[in-house]
């Protein structure tokens, strides 16, 4: 098989919201959820969330980051980590990045595997979008956002794009690129199988 024949296609959807009034709330899950901002930059905690949520969806772009790279990123003005907890256990998280004037990127969002299908995704996503629109209240040095945006791809959860659309996001661009076929999902730590 040639190298060309072994390549695969990756489809990425870019979505945005231009007005906070476009946010469509979701029904709250049966279990009460606390949505708490991790205000102290913690590379260890953020890497845990990144791998615990993204290990089954091929989130690999940050696996090689050093502690210093994580800390530098998390310490930037307008970067926030929001974590959903049920009875003290993290169920999912959102990472917001308000580093570009006038916009907030929903850089990462997802649930830990044990909580998928429990009605948490829509509720936590709506809470994250609310926090994104209000980022200027917490970071006066950040310009008030004119849009909130993010992206997902066909390697992500099969319900991800539907959840973003259900909360009021509109897809403004779709891109397809050639890439190497994905290996097995890395799981939450090296050598672990994704559930």
pLDDT 10s digit of each residue in the chain, 195 long? Answer: 444 556 788 899 999 999 999 999 999 999 999 999 999 999 999 999 999 999 888 898 999 999 999 999 999 999 999 999 999 999 999 999 999 999 999 999 999 999 999 999 999 999 999 999 999 999 999 999 999 999 999 888 889 999 999 999 999 999 998 877 666 766 666 655 544
The answer to whether the CB of 4 falls within 8 A of the CB of 160 is no
**Domain residue ranges in the chain:** 23-172
Q: Give residues with Cβ within 8 angstroms of 105, minimum separation 6.
A: 96, 97, 98, 99, 148, 149, 150
Distances in Å between the Cα of 178 and the Cα atoms of 29, 114, 122, 181 are: 38, 32, 31, 9
Q: Which CATH number fits domain 23-172: 2.60.40.1180, 3.40.630.30, 3.30.420.130, 3.90.1260.10?
A: 3.40.630.30
Measured between alpha carbons, how far is 106 from 147 in angstroms, rounded to an integer?
A: 11
pTM of the model: 0.90
């Amino acid at each position: 098989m040639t190298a060309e024949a072994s390549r695969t296609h990756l489809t990425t959807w870019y979505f945005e919201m231009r007005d906070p009034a476009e946010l469509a709330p979701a029904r709250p899950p049966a279990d009460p959820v606390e949505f708490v901002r991790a205000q102290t930059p913690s590379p260890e905690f953020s890497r845990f969330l990144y791998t615990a949520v993204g290990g089954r969806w091929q989130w690999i772009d940050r696996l090689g980051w050093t502690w210093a790279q994580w800390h530098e990123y998390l310490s930037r003005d307008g970067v926030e980590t929001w974590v959903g907890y049920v009875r003290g256990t993290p169920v999912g998280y959102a990472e917001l990045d308000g580093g570009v004037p006038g916009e907030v990127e929903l850089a990462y969002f997802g649930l830990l595997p044990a909580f998928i299908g429990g009605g948490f995704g829509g509720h936590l996503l709506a809470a994250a979008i609310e926090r994104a629109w209000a980022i200027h209240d917490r970071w006066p040095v950040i310009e008030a956002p004119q849009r909130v945006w993010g992206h997902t791809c066909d390697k992500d959860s099969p319900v991800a794009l539907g959840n973003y659309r259900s909360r009021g996001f509109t897809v403004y661009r779709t891109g397809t690129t050639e890439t190497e076929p994905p290996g097995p999902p890395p799981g939450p730590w090296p050598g672990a199988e994704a559930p």
